Structure formats: structure tokens, C-alpha cells
Structure 1
Amino acid sequence: MSSKEISLQDTVGKGYADFWRYEGRYRVVKGGRGSKKSVTTALWIVYNMMKMPLSNTLVLRKTFNAHKDSTFTQLKWAANRLKVSHLWHFKKSPLEAIYKPTGQMILFRGLDDPMSITSITVENGYLCWAWFEEAYQLMNEDDFDKVDMSIRGELPEGYFKQLTLSFNPWNEKHWLKKRFFDVPNDNVMAITTNYRCNEFLGDDDRALFEWMKKHKPKRHKVEGDGDWGIAEGAVYEDWREEDFDYRAIAKMKGYKAVFGLDFGYTNDPSALVCALVNKEEKKLYIFDEHYEHGMKNDDIAAMIKRKEYAKERIIADSSEPKSIDEIRGHGIGRIRAADKGPDSVKAGIQFIQQFEIIVHKFNCPNIAIELSGYVWDQNKAGKFLNRPVDDFNHTLDALRYAMEQIRKPDAISFD
């Protein structure tokens, strides 16, 4: 095969030299959006697998379905960026990438199927490396430990085992901080990056960060600077993640399905939340979500149909009546505007706080993130106020709308 020469520094860019060379067990990078942490990891994997012909890589996310539009696409992009795409075969069924000259493999797995991880083997060489993308979504440290233990065994001289974790640091109480950032460990590289080290961003990208810094400083602290988010003053404290069968719960006496929709577009995502509520037992099971930027109203309607919720009662943000009418015109006939009223945010929060909240462990990662980051506002003296910060709240606003059917059912008509 013909060879091509490229400049690795020009291809990868600056800011990650130590990250690129590190060979210890744990390589942990927290950072904001646009910090190159994910694309640099993808470039490293493709480059080093070609350099080390006995190496194989396991790529993990909390749910398997999230790979297709994230890590799989990023690794395919990396092969193109390195001008070696002709040497790789990226298969969608099963989802895997194969280096043609040697048969080395990049395997994709989700923690929603633990057996596919614990029993993993490779045909050629050794399983050397693992990459946890969006590692913050792993709320349970035991889930990480199970994979950590699967990367084991003696390797040939010159090879090394390594787990890379990349994530946005939404909450400083997350186990990732205590384990990798707070305790010195010679076998850990823990670094923070942000968009300022990304020379490939355009002026329009940088302008978005400036807008965020001015209008949403708490979010900029995480998504811009890559710093840990604020954990003090959580609005919702009685919540946890579980892997439950929502169909079985739906059949139980006293449970009612509720659905809420919050609109977004460029700077904010549109968010759909689906839950099962037992008002008497004060239990709230959140079993599904959708969270996406740039959705037009026909996209939202198509998503609702795809999820088979088109016939359900969906309560949407009343500030966009035109959007509600358009979505209804696309066949979502039971969508209605929320009856917000005075102090609706405060009243909605107080009502939901009465419930034990159980979030589906694999279906609802964005709700878990927002529950972790949704806090009460503070005055200049640091005293908490009786209003939440208007951020980390897209799924939680949708949840408030959904819960109106329970909180004041007489105020909503579906005739």
C-alpha cells in the first residue's frame, strides 16, 4: 500500500502533548465543550492501534445506542483526518471498526448490557485500551470498576493497559472527582481542558462561549472553562437511578403516565420527559427522555411518533403556542399548553419535592445530569434564595409541565 506523510501536530493540534504520551493506567480528562478532548482521544486510538499491531480497544458509553452518533462517528472522522480511512472498515452491524491489515478491532459496548462487557474477547492480539466517553453519566462507581477489572492480563513488552475517561464536570460531588482528581496517584493523569486550546474553532463558535459567559455563567463554568459545577443547594435531593421495568410499573395500581415538553432551538435543547406517577404513594418513575438541539416542530412531532407517544397527553411550554399548534397539526392531537399561572415554577417544584424520584439508569442520562446541577440561586452574601437558577432545567421544566396533570388536573382539558 502507498504511504502518505502528514504532520501529527498540525493534524491533532496543540494542548494535549502530555495526554498523548501518557502510558499510565488511568487517563482522565474533564473539559468544556469544544475542548478537543473527544476528538483527540479518537485520533490517539486510531493512530496508536496502527502503530501497535497487537492492540485492541473497547469504547464504552452508558447506553449502547449512544455510540452511533458519537464515538463511532468520531473514530471514523479520526481515520479520515489521519488520511487512513482506506485501511479501516467501519461496520454498523455489528457496530465495530476493523483495521484491515491486521484484523485489530475497536469494539463498542454499553453498560446497559453488562454481559457483553464481562465476556468480551478479541481474535487478534490483546484488549489493551478502553475509552469511557461521557463518563459523567456513570453515576455508580461500581459500573466503572466492573469494566476496569476486565482490562487485565499480561501484555508483550512495549504494550500497556490504559483506561481513558472524558467528560463534562457537571457536579463536584461526582465520584470521578474524589477518585481521580482529589487523591494523588502515580498511575493517574487527571487534566482539565477547555475551548481555548482548540485552534480549530471558528469565530462564531467562540462568540457562543462569550454569550454563555454573559448570560449563563454557571453553565459557562462547566461547558466553557471545564471547571466542576456547583453542588451546593440542590433543588431536588430525594432522587436516585435504577434499572426498572416501566411496563411492569405502569400495570401497578395507582400509577398514571405523564408527558411534558420544553421547547428549545439553538442555544437550548428541546426536552421531552416521560414519567409514571403514583400520587398516593408519592413515587415518581422517570422512564424516558429526549434531549436535542436544533429541533424544528416537525422534527419534534416525528420524534414523538417514533417513540410511539403520539396518542399520549403531552403538556408543553405555554410560551410557544404557535409551536404547539404546529405540532398538533403534525398529528400529535393531545398536546396542550401548560397552565403556568403565578408562581408556577415555585409551586411545581414544591409539588415534585414531595415525591421520591427514581430515574431510569440507562434511558435518562440528561435528567440525571440536570438533577445534579439544578440548584437554588444565591445572593451576593451567599444566602440561598427561594428561586432556582435558571439553568440546568430543560428536562426539569418539562417534568413540571408533565406533573401539572397530577398537581391540578382540573386546570387541564383534553376535550
Structure 2
Amino acid sequence: MATKKRDPRDNLNPPIRTSEEARRLGARGGRRSGEVRRARRSLRDLALDIIDSPAPPKLAAQVRTIAPGLDEVTTGAVMLAGQVNAAANGNAQAFRAVTELAGVDGGGDAGEDRPWAADMALLIGRDFVDAHRGLASGEACDLWLPGGRGSLKSSFASLEIACGLMRDPDANALVIQSRRVNLRDASMAQMLWAFDRLGVADLWVPTGSTLRINNRETGQAVVFRGCDEPKKLKSIKLRRGHWRYLWVEEADLLRGMAEVRSVRQTVSRSPVPVQRLYTFNPPRTRDSWANAEVARVRSAPAPGEAVVDSCYTDAPPEWLGEQFVADAEALRAADPEAYRHEYLGEAVGYGAEVFPRAEVREPTAEELVGASMQLYGVDWGFSQDPFCWVRLAYDPRARALYVLDEVSGRGMSNAGAAEAVAARMRLAVTADGAEALPAEPFAEVWCDSAEPKSVADFRELGVRAQRAPKQGANSVRSGVRWLQQRSRIVVSPSCRLAAAEFPAYSYALDADGRATSLLPDADNHAIDAARYAVCTLVADRRFV
């Protein structure tokens, strides 16, 4: 039986009231309005009383260090001193608040529009002072900024762009990374940090799916794009103004100078010179196209080109934190070569090999004595790609990784693979004819999270399968870097797939035959299984 649809207007209050009802409601509203006004007056009086109240002795003593002539230090004076301190550290919003309160107009006429300014000397590392001056004068337009961890190169690039956008209301910026999926948590977060550091975060609003940060007053934009979406690079429309900045973050992950030139063409139609910044951690191999391009610019720079070297040792330690410095020192003591590459930004290898420290041989019983951890990982496969389970042992003191056992093959069902894995995990590891490591039949097995059904199947079949994380510290690049930093990777010849993959795995080449920093997604199934096996160690600072 059909029901009659209700008229939504039935929920409205009656439009007509009696005069008595109107007087009663009006009186009630008047009383409420008076209560609100009295509450506001009492809050205002309370705020004034707090501002005029004497400051605690400890805070008063701090204020007297910058204003020794004060007879009485109030809470208001402490608040003002905090704003002055923030302004001295480069916070433009605090600077404006203090100068407006003091009636200071910066030397101009009252009410005259003044250009935006920030003291960059307080915000950038000393390695970038000359680069900042070159960009400000217009002498520099193409800056290559290689550097290791903590070198402040990305901080400099984001601050330089943010400062330039604030000075020029017609300027816009394009920020590029190799893959779109990394933009929001990497370069976009970095630009938001820069606006906040300059004290103008309230003006710049990030959008949702369009990957932009827009200025709510001027309509300017910082646009973010990934090179894995070439069509979107060609269809960027600006609301107003012109391109002024191009920032290529993690430039070494692009596919060579041909792709760099393609990105440049996106912003080439601009009435003003576009300043282009390329930041990256130098690839391990000297044969990388990015390292080769930096070498070319060093030896024969074109007009406007320059290389800006930076290192964490030149950064103020308090900007990095005690833990960062401790991690760097720990790696320097444990593995000087990895330290030189990771933290000093040196290219320490030759050729395109990803794992130059991998060797295929049987580990000795003496080596396995220090292997206090056994780790297990699975990379799913069936027809085109093989299934692969690996058993690893890790010696944290020697930072040595051993690939001891493997189950691999094409056409394996989940049930057949789980049965084979469970059988292998019930076996102890032998070396030199004796038991070296015990069986661990109930240990966790970290699996590719892309197939939750397969993970569930393994659990039902008695294997403690877990979904390996893939984001942040457990990205492909981070996992491979962690493997690269081991003092050695010893692969048992019995692990046929791993023995074939680890020594042969190489970086992709560009059109000119130079190595890139791109990791091919092929012939790396045992390597992926090993990455998943060590996923709990990659994000743990104790296992640098």
C-alpha cells in the first residue's frame, strides 16, 4: 500500500503567533541577550585583570633580560616578550603583531602598503646563503641541490619558494615528484611547514584531491604533480599570474634528463624567468644520470646554473635533534661507507648494481653464531610471477644478513605453498654439519599486504601470516636502502631465486644508457620477500 509523502513544510513553526506569545518570547530573548552581554563584560574584565596581574618570578626574570628597566613585569609583558621572541626567529605574523601594537610602520607613511619580508638568515642553513642571494638577485635560475639526510636542502627549497610567493602576488609554483602517491606526505607537507615557519599559514589553504595549496587572498597556487601522470602535467591551469618556481623533489627518481626537460616545458611559457630547484639524495652509483648531471654543472655550468652542496654537519644540531645525530654517529661507527652515502651524500659505488655487497655462498657456523634473529617473508605469485618465501637470519652487531632457505615456484596454490612453508619452518638450520639455528614453526611470517585473502588463507592453514606495512619507513625505496646498508648479504646457493636476483638486480637505465635511481619491478620476488621479512627492523632506530 502506497503511503502519502509528507510535506516538509509541516515541520516549520507556525508563522502566526498571538500578541501574548510574541511578548513572552521577546521578553525571554531580551533577558538572554542581557545575560550574554554581562558574561562578555565579565570575561573581558577577567582578561584585563589577568593581563595586568604580576608575572611569575621565573618569567619576570626572563623578561627583564631584554627589558631591564621594567619596575613591574605583568603577564601582558610576558605575552608581548613571547611575540617579540617569535618575531626575532622569523615569524612574520608575530612581527606584524608587534609592530602594529607599537605603531611602527617600517619607515613608510602610516597606512601605506608595505612589501612582505622575512629574515631568511634565521631560517636557512649556512650552506644556502649564497644560493639565496643568487636567487634574490636573479643571477641563479637552475640550482642542483644534492645532499644527504638532514642537510636542510628540502627546507631551503620550500622556504625559498614560500618567501618568493609572498613577495610576488602574481607568482605561482609547480612542485614535481616521480610518483603522485608520495606528494601529500612529502613535498606538500614540506610546503605547508614552510608557510607555517614564515607565519603565514593562515593565508595558504590545501585543497583535497586537486593537490594544490591556494592563497585565500590572492588566488596564487602551489601545484603538485607526479611524473607518473604525464597528461596532467600538460593540462595545468592557473587562476591568476604566472609560473615563477619549479621544484623537482627527489629528482634522481626521474627517468633521466629527457624527463627533466619534459617537466621544464610545463612551466616554460612564463613572462618572467622561472627559477628551478632540484633536490635529491645522491644515488649510490657514480654512473647515475643525476650524479653525472651534477658533475657536468660543476665543470661547465651554463649561465644561471650552479650546484649547492650541503651536509647535516653544517646544520645547527638543535634543528636536527639529538636522536638524528646519534643515529648518524652510530652508522659512521658501524659502516663508514654507508654513512658516507646516507648522511654525507657521497656516491660510493660504480655501475648500476643495487646490492654490490651481496655474495652467493654458504654461511659458516661461525657467522651464524651472532645471528640472534630469524625473519620470514612472502611475496605472492602464481602464473606470471613466482611465489617466494624466504628465511633470513640477522646479526645486528655485525649488521650482516643471511638468506638461508627458500620456497619458490610458479603455479603454487595457497594451500600447497602454506604446506611447504610450514614444513620448512619445522626444520632447524644447519651449518658445517651441525645445528646452527633452531626451528621456529610458530614464528610470524610477514607477507605482501596486497593480497589480504592469501594472508587469511595462510592463517587458516596454520601459518602465522601478517600483512607487511608498505608506507613511510616501509616503502620500497626505504626497504631496499636498508638492505643496501647491511655490511654483507650472504645468499645460500640452495636459495635459487634469491641467488639469481640479489647479485643481478640493477637500477633502470635512461635513454642514454645511464643508471637512474628507479628500481625495476621485475626479477625481484625474493628481494621483495626479504623486504617484507625485515619490515619490523626497517622502522626501528636500533637497527640502522
Output aligned runs, 1:298-309, within 5 Å. Answer: 304-305=448-449, 307-309=450-452
Asked if 1:168 corresponds to 2:281, the answer is: yes
Q: Which residue of 1 aligns with 2:134?
A: 22
CA distance in 1, matches of 2:448, 2:265: 40
CA distance in 1, matches of 2:204, 2:163: 12
Q: Which residue of the other structure, out of 142, 152, 164, is the alignment partner of 2:268?
A: 152
Q: Which residue of 2 aligns with 1:34?
A: 150
Q: Which residue of the other structure, out of 312, 320, 344, is the alignment partner of 1:201?
A: 320
Output aligned runs, 1:9-408, within 5 Å. Answer: 9-23=121-135, 24-155=140-271, 159-170=272-283, 171-182=285-296, 183-185=299-301, 186-199=303-316, 200-232=319-351, 234=353, 255-258=385-388, 304-305=448-449, 307-309=450-452, 311=454, 328=464, 344-345=491-492, 348=495, 350-352=499-501, 397-399=527-529
Q: CA deviation at 1:301?
A: 9.5
Q: CA deviation at 1:136?
A: 1.3
> What runs of 5+ residues in structure 1 fail to find an aligned partner?
238-249, 269-275, 280-299, 316-324, 333-341, 362-366, 372-393, 403-415
Q: Which has the higher strand share?
A: 1
| Residue pair 1:25, 1:162 contacting (<8 A) in 2 also | yes
Deviations 1:66-104 (A, max 9, x none): 011111111111111111111111123221101122111
Q: CA deviation at 1:54?
A: 1.3
CA distance in 1, matches of 2:237, 2:329: 46
* Larger relative contact order (Cα-Cα within 8 Å, sequence gap ≥ 6): 1
Q: CA deviation at 1:221?
A: 1.1
User: What do you get for the CA RMSD once the two structures are aligned?
Assistant: 4.4
Q: CA deviation at 1:184?
A: 1.3
Residue identity in the other structure for 1:194: C
The secondary structure found in structure 2 opposite 1:35 is: coil
Deviations 1:215-271 (A, max 9, x none): 12222112211222312583679xxxxxxxxxxxx89x654354779899x999xxx
Q: Which residue of 2 aligns with 1:8?
A: 120
Moved more, 227-236 or 13-22: 227-236
Q: TM-score scaled by structure 2? A: 0.49
> What runs of 5+ residues in structure 2 fail to find an aligned partner?
1-91, 97-117, 357-380, 400-407, 412-443, 469-488, 511-515, 533-544
CA distance in 2, matches of 1:353, 1:71: 32
Residue identity in the other structure for 2:308: I
Q: Which residue of 1 aligns with 2:28?
A: none
Deviations 1:103-124 (A, max 9, x none): 1100010011001112223121
CA distance in 2, matches of 1:354, 1:33: 27
Q: CA deviation at 1:181?
A: 2.5
Q: CA deviation at 1:314?
A: 12
Q: Size of the alignment, in residue pairs? A: 312
> Could you say if the C-alpha distance between residues 355 and 12 of structure 1 is closer, same or farther in structure 2, counting changes exceeding 3 Å?
closer
> Could you say if the C-alpha distance between residues 131 and 358 of structure 1 is closer, same or farther in structure 2, counting changes exceeding 3 Å?
closer
CA distance in 1, matches of 2:313, 2:198: 23
| Residue pair 1:260, 1:398 contacting (<8 A) in 2 also | no
Deviations 1:174-218 (A, max 9, x none): 112222323411331112211012111223321211111111222
CA distance in 1, matches of 2:206, 2:509: 31
> Could you say if the C-alpha distance between residues 347 and 169 of structure 1 is closer, same or farther in structure 2, counting changes exceeding 3 Å?
farther
Q: Percent identity?
A: 20
Q: TM-score scaled by structure 1? A: 0.63
CA distance in 2, matches of 1:358, 1:230: 12
Q: Which has the larger radius of gyration?
A: 2
Residue identity in the other structure for 2:343: G
| Residue pair 2:242, 2:270 contacting (<8 A) in 1 also | no
Q: CA deviation at 1:19?
A: 1.9
Q: CA deviation at 1:343?
A: 5.9
